Amino acid sequence: MGKRPESKVRKIGTFKDEIEDDVEDIEFVKCINDKVIESDKPIETKKELVIPLIVNNNWRDRKRKNETKNNKDEDSRGEMNGEHKQKTDEEKLEELARKELLKEAQTENENREKRKDIYSTRVIPMLVQNQVPQGFETDDKLDVSLRAEEPCVSDYEKVPVEEFGLAMLRGMGWKPGAGVGKNGKVVQPVEVKIRAKGLGLGAERELHDKKSSKSVPKSEEQEELVLKLGAFVFVQIGEYSKTYGVVESLDDDLTRAVIRPAISGSTFAVPTAALRIVSKSEYLKDSKVINKSKYEEYKVKTEKRINSQRRERHPY
């Protein structure tokens, strides 16, 4: 008897929870316009992340409902067991004081919302203005029921680390190109550059910036120098230094690139931090030079020799 072939039909579980939800949405391609694929799937526009500034804290007792429910449950259990305890006068006074504080804080918040010119008439430090009402957080008693809810993992995933600072500034009213501070002075922000993966110790991150700061002809100023497939690059450091080539492929993190050299040879992979993007004219001009440094040295010596010969022939 031969082995019975296994059935490839997927079995659906008896319960609804066992049904696998791995069905992908089908996307239909409408057309290709300027090398861009257009489909029937709507394009999701990325909105700028804004973390609003809390001007007036709306203090509220988030646990009041739960506490009331728990108290009712305890009272019902106490009545059933015959162990119901009467509240003492001291507990009643504490509860009345707590209600008065909550009422006072709520009234103060409502008045602040009505007065739109709060900042034009007076200046209050943010910490003092938004401090917790008295009687909740003291040395003897710590009541954190008025504090904000504890953030969860999903809250952190919604806010990327690289956009956190700008999101806070937007919430404070900042706009691109606008000034910051009391005098409204426009300050050029310091751009933080993340160290690329594969960049060894001692390697200079600013190397390609110094090299690319040379004067560029006007015809090349409009050329967009971006690291992408087909871009012309120059390897600055490493085993394949001083080599021109074309980008064949990039990894997902844009940390390594596969380069096809201008001169005959097999492709090789290098970190993108070791590359300098060059213009097409520079690539066509210098990519076929085997040893550029010696070529430049020979060129300078030849120019000096020609200039000296001209001076000897025409001393005046």
**DSSP symbol at 139:** S
From residue 247, give the alpha-carbon distance in Å to each of 36, 227, 253, 291: 21, 8, 15, 21
Which range (120-134, 146-160, 162-176, 226-240) has the least confidence? 120-134
Let me know if residue 16 belongs to a domain: no
Let me know if residue 15 belongs to a domain: no
Of the residues 106, 125, 144, the one at which a domain ends = 125
Of the residues 125, 148, 170, the one at which a domain ends = 125
The mean per-residue pLDDT over the stretch 66-71 comes to: 56
pLDDT score for 253: 77
Domain of 105 in residue numbering reads as 92-125
pLDDT score for 126: 59
pLDDT tens column, 38-53: 877 777 777 888 888 7
Other CB atoms within 10 A of residue 257 CB:
24
Instruction: State how many domains the chain has.
Output: 2
Query: Is 60 exceeded by the pLDDT of residue 157?
Result: yes
Please state, for a pLDDT cut of 90, what percent of the chain lies above it. Answer: 5
CATH number at residue 258: 2.30.30.30
Query: Is 70 exceeded by the pLDDT of residue 244?
Result: yes
The mean per-residue pLDDT over the stretch 243-256 comes to: 87
For residue 14, what pLDDT band results from cuts at 50, 70 and 90?
very low
pLDDT score for 97: 80
Let me know if residue 107 belongs to a domain: yes
3-state secondary structure of 233: strand
Let me know if residue 147 belongs to a domain: no
| Helix (H) or strand (E) run with residue 111 in it | helix 89-114
Let me know if residue 261 belongs to a domain: yes
Let me know if residue 235 belongs to a domain: yes
**Higher pLDDT pick, 191 / 96:** 96
pLDDT score for 233: 92
Task: Name the nearest CA neighbour of 146 among 64, 62, 54.
Answer: 62
3-state secondary structure of 201: coil
Amino acid, res. 165? G
The mean per-residue pLDDT over the stretch 289-310 comes to: 80
3-state secondary structure of 79: helix
Let me know if residue 240 belongs to a domain: yes
Q: Which residues contact 173 (CB under 8 A, 6 or more apart)?
A: 53
pLDDT score for 68: 57
For residue 143, what pLDDT band results from cuts at 50, 70 and 90?
confident
**Parallel, antiparallel, or unpaired: how do β-strands 256-261 and 268-271 relate?**
antiparallel
Let me know if residue 97 belongs to a domain: yes
DSSP string of 18-58, one letter each residue:
GS---PPPP--EEEEETTEEEESSPPPPPPPP-----SS--
